[in-house]
Structure 1
Amino acid sequence: MAYLLVMGALGLSVCFTLGWGLVRATRWLLGRLPGAGRKPARRSARRAPSRPKAPSRPRAAPRTRTRKAVPAKPPQEPWRLTRWLARRRSPLPLGLLVLLLYAGSRLAEYGMTFRPQAAPGEFHGLVSTLGWVAAILLALAGMNLLALWRCHRSGGDDRA
């Protein structure tokens, strides 16, 4: 009975995940249609009047020798792969979902060891595969967050 409950929950979760992926793919395809990328123009918000800057106090000259100031290089534009990865928003929720599935199936696998009957061999393989998929998706989600940070830090547009 426990096997049927666990496998039913896993089947339901897989169907949910596939349905979610189908919805995301459909939204992506609809966004690629001509005329779908147009958004209504936003009106600019009222801004508070800017205050004049206070005059700065002159600093005293340093007594020790200083190095010449090296002009700071402007940040480089992120690579195309980084911008592409920053646009993808799905790996984190999907990775967390698979991680929860892995945790639940691992707990069920542990509980099945105390039954008098042996668990099917495919179940152990399924649990192992879920663990690897969760690890890969969470690594991809970490790379996605780094790409978002890089595009935001450089001031680059992550939509290009």
Structure 2
Amino acid sequence: MAYVLVMGGLALSVSFTLGWVLWRASLWAWGRVAGPPARRQVQPRARARKAPAARKAHAKPSAKPAPRGPWGLTCWLARRHFALPLASLALILYGLTRVVEFGMTQRPLSPPVGYHRLVDGLGWLAAGLLALALLNLLARWRCREK
């Protein structure tokens, strides 16, 4: 029974990953074939006249600095949408392997030698992917369009 659960989880993860890769590749290919979406043309507004340089020199400097935009790494991470699906998949697999590990400890035979290390490694991988997914969500929030 444990073998069926472990191999079923592995087959599910491989098929999910391959399906996700095919889906993203097809979206990318369709975007290349169809071209960029038509963007709305923004009409330039008439600019107000600037104050002469002599008046600007006497102006009081503002206390607050102008807000800066997000870093390039933050924007790059915000455009990537892989972390949350992979983190949820790793978390589901970790939960299944943990249940199987519990079932293996309840039987009289001992589990395979490296199985406990595999479960621990999968747990750390799931935790790392969840942290990356959280950073991805924060980057999306930081780089949101106004």
Q: How far did 1:15 drift? A: 1.4
SS in 2 for 1:94: helix
Partner of 1:148: 140
| Separation (CA, whole Å) in 1 of partners of 2:6 and 2:116 | 12
Structure 1 unaligned spans of 5+: 43-67, 156-160
Please, which moves more after superposition, 2-11 or 137-146? Answer: 2-11
Number of the residue aligned with 2:105: 113
Percent pairwise identity: 39
Cα deviation, residue 121, structure 1: 1.9
How many residues align? The count is 128
SS in 2 for 1:6: helix
Cα distance between partner residues in 1 of 2:136 and 2:118: 26
Letter in 2 for 1:39: P
Distance in 2 (alpha carbons) for counterparts of 1:31 and 1:82 = 26
Which structure ranks higher in relative contact order (CA pairs < 8 Å, sequence separation ≥ 6)?
Answer: 2
Q: CA shift at 1:20, angstroms? A: 3.3
2:36 to 38, 43, 49: 38
Tell me how far 1:28 sits from its aligned partner: 6.3
Match of 2:125 among 124, 130, 133: 133
| CA distance 1:103–1:128, change in 2 (3 Å) | same
Contact 2:13–2:89 (Cα < 8 Å) also in 1: no
**1:56 maps to what in 2?**
none
Question: Structure 2 length normalisation: TM-score?
Answer: 0.72
In the other structure, the counterpart of 1:82 is 74
CA RMSD, 1 decimal: 2.7
Which whole-Å CA distance do the structure 2 matches of 1:11 and 1:39 have between them?
38
- Name the residue aligned to 2:21: 22
TM normalised by structure 1 equals 0.67
User: Matches of 1:107 and 1:114 in 2, distance apart?
Assistant: 11
Summarize deviations over 1:37-92 as a string: whole Å, max 9, x none.
421456xxxxxxxxxxxxxxxxxxxxxxxxx9955433211111000000111211
More helix by share: 2
d(CA) in 1 for partners of 2:70, 2:23: 26
